[in-house]
Structure 1
């Protein structure tokens, strides 16, 4: 008998009830579990002593929580719900809509289902087999994009589907594929047009898609730390080793329950987000981070990585590459770097580092080589496009990864900066005494027009309002809209 069993618990869409999670954590604690993690598909993962697993599974069944032991036959449903209200603006989609769809899915899907807002790139749009992308212009209608199991080609239906029919149609799609495996399952030549003709369209509310789904450019927001959004705060917690102490999560759930926060979210970046924190309760969350010594403000070139679930080797490779990128002060903003070490795993990435064994014998390899692959236009939603380098030994991997990153930024050189050539003569500092000062809300870095930002190519005398929308903080790479205007007097008090 195994000493430990791997347990996967599906919290559909990454939406988690603090009360239910607290009860689950208590059962895990009684079983001797001290740490848990969250997976790429927003599920909870843990290793439990096999001899103590029965009380835990009894609780899971009584709570109607879907789980698997040492298996992953039923992938969790991924949604962009964690991004709503904090990373997404100008959308008709609400958290209530996600919950309506999830509640209507009354079966455990065997295929990966993604339910995504088209106004975001925080969660992957097309890593599922059945991908629903909200229409950008028609409320409550969704684009349907199919990727047949074990293939890498996306087919988009020329119809859009009404919100209330997503659950039923997803179930029909799964049945069609499973009942016609010779046509649509593990078939590289599977034809999407033929498949869509088999859908019983009259049973659903549909309308013609006037244009294809518009996929957003990839832009990963800074998803950890305590941030103000409108009149409230949200907290994002990332763990370098992907492990969350049970004691910490129990205290987090307790604060949610005490302050009437009804849900928290897990993300595809293996982090946790709590939304709707009131100003009066902010001190509780700061105390939580202090008591459990939770580190914040990790570098972007660490947060941008994606690795496989339950894979210590992939995590160690990530840590090695992060260290190399830090040592060379390499920029990774705007990109997602994935690490793949298993044949059947799927990683969301702009640039993919793929490990492959050389001379494998009985599941072991004498050594490994690495390939670096890049997605089309470096957009991870567009899938892998081409091989950048292949058959690299480990000692050449970091250097070639930096070259692949440089290739991405080389394509940005054609972009003309709006202020180039606009400064005709040196400007004295006194000319800017009335110009307000702006400060990054994340790391408190100050942008002062008097000095500009030479490291980012911004000359002295450049007003904040004239900075390009692509400008980012020189320290934490937060977007321009994350800066707030402050008074000089207030700035002076911060440093007294």
Structure 2
């Protein structure tokens, strides 16, 4: 007997914001079709899995309720935004909730490119996972635009700031230009973004602001996004995360009903596949709902800093396995984020990437990290290749240790100029060479075992082809550093 086909329904929730009443309509339709649970995605969208019989009922229910959806397709990615982080994570600036709403309302078409609307003063929502990444500038009502061309890691920085009210129409024009010329702008090894700007950006209908100020990103630190948390002095927000990425329709229905009764108009979907409710004034009824559905909160941070591909049971299982291993080791992962990639074309947010190798029946993995461990970077460094499942945890522990070694060494280098003169003896004259990108050190006393360099070989005597054993940087990227200062950390 053939296995029953399961269909996937995707409903976009623009900006990750959903009105409680609208969600109730979706849940009513799902429950009438016999659906018991739903999931959320990394782009703040909603997923429903249904068999053929359930699908027939769902399509009818959605048609009657005028609910837009995609079936077994992803042609129209959701517009992702940091609206969820507003007033919770990050310092205030000119971007308010009203601006998000204004921008989202201006989209009179369904984008086929991934669009991100991001506040630059937060680190909760990824900056560059979209194709068109609009990021708040220091100039009121103007945004930086960083374009990542489809199916590539090639970025182009728009040379002018974009006015708030131009975001939607500019996005539409850029999308049309890119999709008309996929042989130039999509899945290519070399793309000239200046040509795109000359075609689209120079039009007089756009208000432009010429600024030489570059975008400055905050240091990444994922805020804890679960449980009850106070904000605005007398209000609370509630974050709810589910280990299996699944939310029961009954639970969400109670959430929506309580939102309406509490005059909370909307709630928010996060890129971490969780939900956040703001504006809670009384905790008791929410605790009752949590108790009724046996919802647990306050999971360990090691479990919350992961991204897994949408609807990927294998990736979710691997994450859960590795989280248990991390817990056993009591591993510190603060300021790190992890992503599990099974599909090579999936753009996930993470400073450490666990990538499953394809075209093999065995569980073999590669481990990569972004340069300088900045999760918003798309510049990947290979740390280990051809790793088995049993070798995966030890390798990740080694990488985490390496990251914190770099952190402490960086801190020491910043303090070096404050070392008292009486501590500066002949030791400070002994120099080693440190990679400016990943901070690994070449010390001639030890050589370089990975590159088969024997102890006693001076850095100047290394061949010009020498590369960093950790990040593969060139020899010219190594800088002389006092060995004495490094030894103090």
TM normalised by structure 1 equals 0.80
**Structure 2 counterpart of 1:410:** 405
Aligned residue in 2 for 1:41: 43
Structure 1 regions of 5+ residues with no counterpart? 422-496
Aligned to 2:183: 182
| 1:205 alignment partner in structure 2 | 207
Residue 310 of structure 1 pairs with residue 301 of structure 2: no
SS at match of 1:203: coil
Q: 1:67 offset after TM fit, Å?
A: 1.3
Partner of 2:239: 236
Q: Secondary structure at the match of 2:204?
A: helix
Cα deviation, 1:133-188, whole Å, max 9, x if unaligned, reads 011x2111000111110110211011001100000000000001011222111112
The Cα shift of 1:384 comes to 3.7
1:9 equivalent among 8, 11, 34: 11
Q: Which region of structure 1 is more displaced relative to structure 2, 282-291 or 36-45? A: 282-291
Map Cα deviations across residues 167-226 of structure 1 (whole Å, 9 max, x no partner): 000000000101122211111211112221111431111111222211222110000101
1:59 Cα deviation from its structure 2 partner: 4.0
Give how far 1:61 is off: 4.3
- Structure 2 counterparts to residues 475-494 of structure 1, below 5 A: none
Aligned equivalent of 2:351? 350
Give the superposition deviation at 1:327. 0.2
Q: In the aligned structure 1, how far is the partner of 2:117 from the partner of 2:20?
A: 22
Alignment of 1:298 onto 2:299: yes
Q: Could you tell me whether the CA contact under 8 Å between 1:31 and 1:49 is conserved in 2?
A: no
CA 1:402/1:62 → structure 2, altered by over 3 Å: closer, same or farther? same
Distance verdict in 2 for CA 1:24–1:155, change over 3 Å: same
Aligned counterparts, 1:224-303, within 5 A: 224-230=226-232, 231-278=234-281, 281-303=282-304
- Please state how far the C-alpha of 1:6 moved relative to its aligned partner: 0.7
Counterpart in the other structure of 1:443: none
Matches within 5 A, 1:21-420: 21-61=23-63, 63-135=65-137, 137-199=138-200, 200-230=202-232, 231-278=234-281, 281-357=282-358, 360=359, 365-414=360-409, 415=411
- When the two structures are superposed, what TM-score results if normalisation uses the length of structure 2? 0.81
Count of aligned pairs between the two proteins: 411
The CA distance in 1 between the partners of 2:227 and 2:82, in whole Å, is 19
Q: In structure 2, do the counterparts of structure 1 residues 384 and 75 end up closer, same or farther at CA, with 3 Å as the change threshold?
A: same
Q: Which runs of 4+ in 1 moved over 4 A?
A: 61-64
Asked if 1 retains the 8 angstrom alpha-carbon contact of 2:29 and 2:62, the reply is no
* In structure 1, distance between residues paired with 2:61 and 2:132: 31
Per the TM alignment, residue 65 of structure 1 is displaced from its structure 2 partner at its CA by: 3.7
CA distance, structure 2, for counterparts of residue 55 and residue 167 of structure 1: 35
Structure 2 portions without partners, runs of 5+: 420-489
CA contact (8 A) 2:7 2:71 kept: yes
Q: How far, CA to CA, are the matches of 1:34 and 1:94 in structure 2?
A: 36
Q: Spell out, residue by residue over 1:344-390, the C-alpha distance to the aligned partner (whole angstroms, 9 max, x if none).
A: 21110000000003xx3xxxx42131111111211111124200111
Question: What's the Cα RMSD here?
Answer: 1.8
Residue 63 (structure 1) shift: 4.7
